[in-house]
Amino acid sequence: MESLVLQGALTFTAVGLLFLFVAVVVIWQTVEIVDAYEKEALTVFGEYRKLLEPGFNIIPPFVSRTYPFDMRTQTLDVPRQEAITRDNSPVTADAVVYIKVMDAKKAFLEVDDYKKAVSNLAQTTLRAVLGDMELDDTLNKRQEINAKIRTELDEPTDEWGIRVESVEVREVNPSKEVQQAMEQQTSAERRRRAMILEAQGERRSAVETAEGDKQSDIIRAQGEKQSQILEAQGDAISTVLRAKSAEAMGERAIIERGMESLERIGQGESSTFILPQELTSLVGRYGKQLTGSDIQESEGLEGKEFDDDTRKMLGLDDIDEILGEIDQAAEMDIEQLEQEAEQVKTGESGIKSPDEVIDEADEEIDEEALTESETSPDGGLERETETER
């Protein structure tokens, strides 16, 4: 009896443990926990039912299967591909494709393995894009290659519920022979640029030197021109001053001649003399007045201004005009200054030499004296003088 009771207890315990185990398994199979970055496709007896959202989900036990899909951006490496460019240059290239599952249902139902499918499609597209371009374009236009590959991948991947977010070509390498040729071309181009820069530098240096010489010649010529102008002005002024000095000496010679004439008159026996007005005016400038028959002794000759007749006879007004022209000589160019100076030197400017002034004065005195003596004794200035020594 006791054995039957013990056997029944053991059976009950085993059944209880079995039930508990089955219950745990059922609960385990019924509960599905989905991560926050995933979605899972649920099938029951092989039939698609729905997508399980992140969190706690209840599914039929034992007859259900789930297929997880990562909803984050994923990276696919495109293996290195060999291609022939449009100009028949072999190149190798690899790339990286960034994709994101936008519709897990399509990714589950429309394509077997979306990652493998996108990778294979990217490989063929990369080869096709490189084959449509020339070698230089494949090396320089990376952005264009990326855009073309992405455009080619967008249409088929949209049907799979996949979005290609970006495509980046990592390396494009030509063959070794092409690389060597490119290195030689680059080296030659650098040598050419260096030679051009050197030639440009030498040319610029020559231009700067020539420009400096030009400026120096201009400054030197301006200095020489100014020096010639000043020298010509100095010569003109010096010539005029010498002419004025000579004219003054001529005037003094006239006075001396007049004084000698008076001395000869005084030594004569006649007591009545006819003297020209011009001579008396000249004497009046340097002596005292002749009063009566006596000549008063003067303390010395005083410098006085010539009267109008004397200035006209000696041509002193022309001297003032010449001096006025000299004041304006700074505004004349060098050729005009040289011409004026040459005219003054040759006597063509109207300035009389001392000998000419003396000769003209003597002729005028003789002519006037002769005229006065022939016409009337009262026509001239009569003065009775007695000469006393």
Q: Which amino acid is at 3?
A: S
User: Two tokens at 124?
Assistant: 């063929």
User: Two tokens at 215?
Assistant: 């400026």
- On whether the pTM is more than 0.85, the answer is no
Residue 297 to residue 279: CA distance in whole angstroms: 18
Per-residue confidence (pLDDT) for residue 4, from 0 to 100 = 66
Per-residue confidence (pLDDT) for residue 211, from 0 to 100 = 80
Residue 93 to residue 127: CA distance in whole angstroms: 8
Three-class DSSP labels, 308-331: HHHHHHHCHHHHHHHHHHHHCHHH
Contacts of 169 (CB under 8 A, 6+ apart): 93, 94, 95, 126, 142, 145, 146, 149
Half-sphere exposure of 6 (CA within 13 A, CB side): 3
Per-residue confidence (pLDDT) for residue 340, from 0 to 100 = 55
Using alpha carbons only, give the angle 66, 70, 75 rounded to the nearest 5 degrees.
140
Residue 44 to residue 30: CA distance in whole angstroms: 12
* Beta-bridge partners for 249: none
Please give the distance of CA 67 from its chain centroid, rounded to a whole number. Answer: 72
By DSSP bridging, strand 31-34 and strand 55-58 are: antiparallel
Please give the distance of CA 313 from its chain centroid, rounded to a whole number. Answer: 69
Per-residue confidence (pLDDT) for residue 299, from 0 to 100 = 43
Residue 280 to residue 276: CA distance in whole angstroms: 7
Report DSSP letters for 160-189, one per residue. Answer: TTEEEEEEEEEEEEE-HHHHHHHHHHHHHH
Cβ neighbours of 349 (radius 10 Å):
19
Half-sphere exposure of 306 (CA within 13 A, CB side): 17
Contact between residue 378 and residue 345 where contact means Cβ atoms under 8 Å apart: no
User: Two tokens at 38?
Assistant: 């995933």
Please give the distance of CA 52 from its chain centroid, rounded to a whole number. Answer: 72
User: Two tokens at 107?
Assistant: 């990714």
Q: Which residues of the chain have pLDDT under 70?
A: 1-5, 240-362, 364-366, 368-389
Per-residue confidence (pLDDT) for residue 282, from 0 to 100 = 52
Report CA dihedral (279, 285, 291, 294) to the nearest 10 degrees.
Answer: -80
Per-residue confidence (pLDDT) for residue 28, from 0 to 100 = 86
User: Two tokens at 3?
Assistant: 């054995």
Report DSSP letters for 280-302, one per residue. Answer: HHHHHHHS---BTTB-PPPSS--
